[in-house]
């Protein structure tokens, strides 16, 4: 009997179900021969056979390439968890064999390491060149008060906080502890004091700016919109230069004594900006913002269970975990391995819907995502209705689509992570639910999340607080022996990468795919062989691991390797660390000294 859906899939055409037993015997014969040659030991051959049959199962029931499902999916479940066809099934079958073969081979030498010149960069944004006294000068912050109400999730809000600190110093203003706007995407009412230590924040930045918890009483009753002190994101362009604030905002501040920024998403440029203001922005991000004790304690518990021992006291752990670093905590269910890989799978329904990409779910997927966009992204829906947008195929070819779990697992296997690698998955509910995650869990069984590592009672204080849960993910990812992101544009991944770069000392590699180049490889999934796929993916990942100074205008939160934030060891740095996208004959600025390379 021929499978009724087989004619819909090129790799399954005219496949007779009766051949299954013959295929089974053939695979078993191959494994027996390979076992005699020493490729496998008896303990792994049975598992390999299971993977092989799983690969054949994919061929019958999965999807051969983008956009061509082999079988209709039924029994739709709740939004975002409906079973979806798995893409790239041919490559998934190949990777199953590759992972089994790799069991008896050593890992690549540089898998858990950064290039040696990464060790040359040392954190230095805690250093101040201006006068730092115990009490702030009476002239500091006298131009008025700055309030911000930051939008977005915890990561966008963190960037807004650091930009507000910098603007306050620029305008000689007093900063009011930032407020967080409620988001209908994140659904979290947490405020600054629920996530960060307020008193520590105020005290640490006291030599830099004046910070208060509330406006003075005489200013609280003012109608800020009526007097022109309400500034939203349409009034200040994205990544505005400091001169814009001096020209447009300072006069309002001097006149009304208060300015309220609403939204304030990415409203300060990265270049050009005065050296000490850039350093202050880094000081806020890497030193002044510390999670509250509730988050630190549970974060330490997560890291201990992942590493198999309590977190070592280090500059990174001291910042993330405070006095809970190095403190013995009941271990619960520890992992055997001391090394773990953290992966940020940015594949929640909001990202999938916003991307305008297609992930193989047919008409049901398109309708589901369109409904989500109408509710949560009405502006995008209107743009789609009135404007001809790029096709989903074009977006994918340009690397504009978030990586699906099956694409992420192919990347990890190609890099060299073995199937027994402990993997921590960060993120909220993956679009497609457990059905979609099966692509990873079948191939990497030692897969955990905060929900599986922590007990219900340990998670209870964080339920319904997505920003606080994201803070736990941040701690686990920043502390990981290796971190892999699937969307380099993600603010979460960018902040984690920056933390690891700043505090890692060359020991905390981050794997960041070039999605455009990866898409050009994945599009050949119907014909490409595993060895070629492995070679090409390794090459593009190695290129993104190269150590260089922050490119001009790039985010200092993501890439703090620059004189303002991380100073290189002078003698070796001149030889080992290139200025990215700059000629060899260029001038470097280290602190207040200019050095010319010849």
Strands (E), 481-543: 482-485, 510-511
CA distance 279 to 556: 10
For tokens 């630190």, what's the residue? Answer: 296
Task: Please report, in tens digits, the pLDDT of each residue of the chain (598 residues total).
Answer: 434 333 333 333 333 333 433 443 444 444 444 444 444 444 444 433 433 333 333 333 333 333 333 333 333 333 455 566 678 989 999 999 999 999 989 999 899 999 989 988 999 999 998 765 444 555 678 999 999 999 999 999 999 999 999 999 999 999 999 999 999 888 899 999 999 999 999 999 999 999 999 999 999 999 999 999 999 999 999 999 999 999 999 999 999 999 999 999 999 999 999 999 999 999 999 999 999 999 999 999 999 999 987 777 789 999 999 999 976 444 444 444 479 999 999 999 999 999 999 999 999 999 999 999 999 999 999 999 999 999 999 999 999 999 999 999 999 999 999 999 999 999 888 999 888 898 889 999 999 999 999 999 999 999 999 999 999 999 999 999 999 999 988 999 999 999 999 999 989 999 999 999 999 999 999 999 999 999 999 999 999 889 999 999 999 999 999 999 987 654 333 333 344 433 322 222 333 333 332 2
What residue spans define the domains of the chain? 6-104, 145-288, 293-347+402-487+510-544, 350-397, 571-596
**Token pair belonging to 59:** 């061929």
CA distance 422 to 129: 44
Residues in the chain: 598
CA distance 440 to 92: 10
Q: Is 142 helix (H, G, I), strand (E, B) or coil?
A: strand
For tokens 């730092």, what's the residue? Answer: 132
Provide CB contacts within 8 A for 546, sequence distance 6+.
115
**Token pair belonging to 344:** 């940020």
**Token pair belonging to 134:** 């115990």
Q: Kindly report the number of other CB atoms within 10 A of residue 222's CB atom.
A: 15
CA distance 397 to 382: 24
pTM, two decimal places: 0.80
CA distance 209 to 211: 6
């Amino acid at each position: 009997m021929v499978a009724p859906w087989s004619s819909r899939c090129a790799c399954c055409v005219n496949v007779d179900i009766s051949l299954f037993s013959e295929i089974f015997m053939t695979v078993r014969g191959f494994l027996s021969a390979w076992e005699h040659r020493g490729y496998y030991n008896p303990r792994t051959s049975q598992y390999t056979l299971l993977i092989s049959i799983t690969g054949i199962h994919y061929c019958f029931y999965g999807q051969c390439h983008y956009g061509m499902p082999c079988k209709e999916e039924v029994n739709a479940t709740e939004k975002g968890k409906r079973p979806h066809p798995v893409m790239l099934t041919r490559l998934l079958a190949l990777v199953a064999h590759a992972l089994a073969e790799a069991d008896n081979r050593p890992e690549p030498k540089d898998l858990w390491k950064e290039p040696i010149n990464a060790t040359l960069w040392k954190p230095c944004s805690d250093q101040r060149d201006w006068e730092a006294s115990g009490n702030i000068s009476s002239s500091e912050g006298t131009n008025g008060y700055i309030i911000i109400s930051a939008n977005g999730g915890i990561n966008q809000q963190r960037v807004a906080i650091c930009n507000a600190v910098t603007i306050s110093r620029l305008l000689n203003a007093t900063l009011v502890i930032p407020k967080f706007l409620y988001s209908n995407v994140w659904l979290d009412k947490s405020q600054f004091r629920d996530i960060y230590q307020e008193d520590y924040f105020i005290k640490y930045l006291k030599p830099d700016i004046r910070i208060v918890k509330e406006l003075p009483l005489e200013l609280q009753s003012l109608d800020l919109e009526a007097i022109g002190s309400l500034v939203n994101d349409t009034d200040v362009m994205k990544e505005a230069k400091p001169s814009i604030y001096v020209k447009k905002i300072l006069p309002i501040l001097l006149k009304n004594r208060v300015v309220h920024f609403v939204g304030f998403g990415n409203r300060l440029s990265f270049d050009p900006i005065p050296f000490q203001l850039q350093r202050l922005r880094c000081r806020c991000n890497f030193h002044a913002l510390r999670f509250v004790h509730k988050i630190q304690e549970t974060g330490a518990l997560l890291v201990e269970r992942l590493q198999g021992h309590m977190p070592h006291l280090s500059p990174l752990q001291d910042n993330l975990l405070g006095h809970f670093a190095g403190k013995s905590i009941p271990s619960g269910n520890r992992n055997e391995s001391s090394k773990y890989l953290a992966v940020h799978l940015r594949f929640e329904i909001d990202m999938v819907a916003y991307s305008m990409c297609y992930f193989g779910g047919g008409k049901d997927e398109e309708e589901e995502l369109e409904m989500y966009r109408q509710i949560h992204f009405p502006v995008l829906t209107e743009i789609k209705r009135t404007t001809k947008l790029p096709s989903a195929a074009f977006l994918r070819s340009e690397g504009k689509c978030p990586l699906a779990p099956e694409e992420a697992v192919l990347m990890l296997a190609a890099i060299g992570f073995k199937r027994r690698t402990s993997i921590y998955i960060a993120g909220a509910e993956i679009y497609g639910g457990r059905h979609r995650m099966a692509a990873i869990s079948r191939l990497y069984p030692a897969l955990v999340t905060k929900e599986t590592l922590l007990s219900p009672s340990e998670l209870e204080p964080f339920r319904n607080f997505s920003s606080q849960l994201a803070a736990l993910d941040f701690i686990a990812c920043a502390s990981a022996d290796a971190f892999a992101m699937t969307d380099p544009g993600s603010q979460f991944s960018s902040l984690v990468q920056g933390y690891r770069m700043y505090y890692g000392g060359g020991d905390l590699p981050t794997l960041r795919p070039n999605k455009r180049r990866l898409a050009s490889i994945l599009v050949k999934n119907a014909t490409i062989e595993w060895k070629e796929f492995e070679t090409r993916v390794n090459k593009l990942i190695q290129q993104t691991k190269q150590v260089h100074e922050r490119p001009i205008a790039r985010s200092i939160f993501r890439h703090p390797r620059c004189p303002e934030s991380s100073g290189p060891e002078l003698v070796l740095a001149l030889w080992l660390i290139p200025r990215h996208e700059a000629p060899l004959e260029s001038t470097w600025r280290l602190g207040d000294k200019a050095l010319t390379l010849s």
